[in-house]
Amino acid sequence: MVNMLGIAGGLFALLTFVHFSVDWLFQSHAEAMKKHNHPWTRAHHCAVYTLGFVPVMMLLDIKGIEFTIGIGILFISHFVEDTYIPVFLWAKYIRRPPGFVKSNTKEQDDKAFMQFIDTTLGKILMITVDQIIHLAFLWPIVYMALN
């Protein structure tokens, strides 16, 4: 069991390196600034991101339906997460910074979120939560590589 956990951790570390490399290094500033509300820009970014994992998945001998499922998990999870809706929901319902109240309208919620992420702490937490969600979706790939 300990050996399996060690191998899983090593695979996760490798996938995390690939994640940060392709997610951050292969993305222009313009793309990063508009992907959240431009689906085609986001789709392009997610396609580049997903393609970055193909050589690793091939190296790990993930093929067939597992390969297709893995590609789907990487693309779809990234596409949804890069809308920042999951981070927004975390901020609204879990973090609850000033400005978010139960009776807020969408406009008030959007304003409260923008005020929150305009602070240093808000930026740090937004990026952290965003990355935790992205990294969580690497675990199915680890699982497929181990089986």
In terms of pTM, does the model score above 0.85? Answer: yes
- Classify the C-alpha dihedral 142-84-79-51 as positive or negative: negative
With a cut of 80, say whether residue 102 has pLDDT above it.
no
Amino acid in the structure at residue 11: L
- What does the pLDDT look like over 23-59, one tens digit per residue? 999 999 999 999 999 999 999 999 999 999 999 999 9
Using left for φ > 0, alpha for ψ between -120 and 50, and beta otherwise, residue 63 falls in beta
Q: Are 46 and 71 in contact (CB under 8 A)?
A: no
User: What percentage of the chain has pLDDT greater than the value 70?
Assistant: 100
Amino acid in the structure at residue 125: L
Listed by start position, the domains of the chain span 2-146
Average confidence (pLDDT) over 72-97: 96
With a cut of 80, say whether residue 103 has pLDDT above it.
no
CA distance 113 to 55: 38
Q: Identify the pLDDT of residue 59.
A: 96
